Amino acid sequence: MAAATRKRLRENKFQSALEYLSEYRGVKGAAILDDEGLVVARIGRKEFEADLVSPLIHLILIQTNLVLNRLNVDAAQAITIRTKTSRITITRVEGLILCVFAESGTDQLLKVRIGQAVDMIRTHLSNSYALAKS
């Protein structure tokens, strides 16, 4: 299988996880970032610009983990930020970062959807890794 085809299949699996999230009421957008903060996959409403928020997400994780390290606490696996109008959830998934932007009034069931999307991403990563080993 050509490298370009494998890459498209990987992106489609990531896109499926994001589409699953975006179906939920109140979700403005979601993105998967690599460990350097570059956008791997994205989905969202017109006003959601993953390329603009990805540096912020990356910086939040770096700075939070620097402080946690000084406190001798493990690195953050998930962070939720609530503002008057928005809820931003940042979740580490292996070497990737999932960020979900939603309206502040979104109910707690969004956490369940995020957990399921994380499982979809993990499954895809483990399947891709298994293919790379063979």
SS (H, E, C) 37-86: CCEEEEEECCCCCHHHHHHHHHHHHHHHHHHHHHCCCCCCCEEEEECCCE
Q: Is residue 33 part of a domain?
A: yes
Mind listing the pLDDT tens digit for each residue in 77-108?
999 999 999 999 999 998 899 999 999 988 88
Q: Is residue 5 part of a domain?
A: no
- Per the structure, the count of domains in the chain is 1
What pLDDT, on the 0 to 100 scale, is given for residue 87?
Answer: 93
What pLDDT, on the 0 to 100 scale, is given for residue 75?
Answer: 94
Q: Is residue 66 part of a domain?
A: yes
Q: Is residue 47 part of a domain?
A: yes
Say if strands 39-44 and 96-103 run parallel, antiparallel, or are unpaired.
unpaired
Q: Is residue 31 part of a domain?
A: yes
* Strands of 78-82's sheet in order across: 39-44, 27-33, 96-103, 86-93, 78-82
What pLDDT, on the 0 to 100 scale, is given for residue 106?
Answer: 85
93 vs 4, higher pLDDT = 93
Domain enclosing residue 23, as ranges: 17-126
10 vs 118, higher pLDDT = 118
Both tokens assigned to 42:
């994205």
Measured between alpha carbons, how far is 32 from 51 in angstroms, rounded to an integer? 11
Q: Is residue 12 part of a domain?
A: no
> Does residue 131 have a pLDDT over 60?
no
φ/ψ of residue 92, rounded to 5: -80, 135
Mind listing the pLDDT tens digit for each residue in 30-72?
999 998 999 999 999 887 899 999 999 999 999 999 999 999 9
User: In Å, what is the CA distance from 10 to each residue of 15, 16, 17, 21?
Assistant: 9, 10, 11, 17
Q: Is residue 6 part of a domain?
A: no
Residue 8 banded pLDDT, cuts 50, 70, 90: low
Q: Is residue 8 part of a domain?
A: no
CATH number at residue 55: 3.30.450.30
What pLDDT, on the 0 to 100 scale, is given for residue 129?
Answer: 61
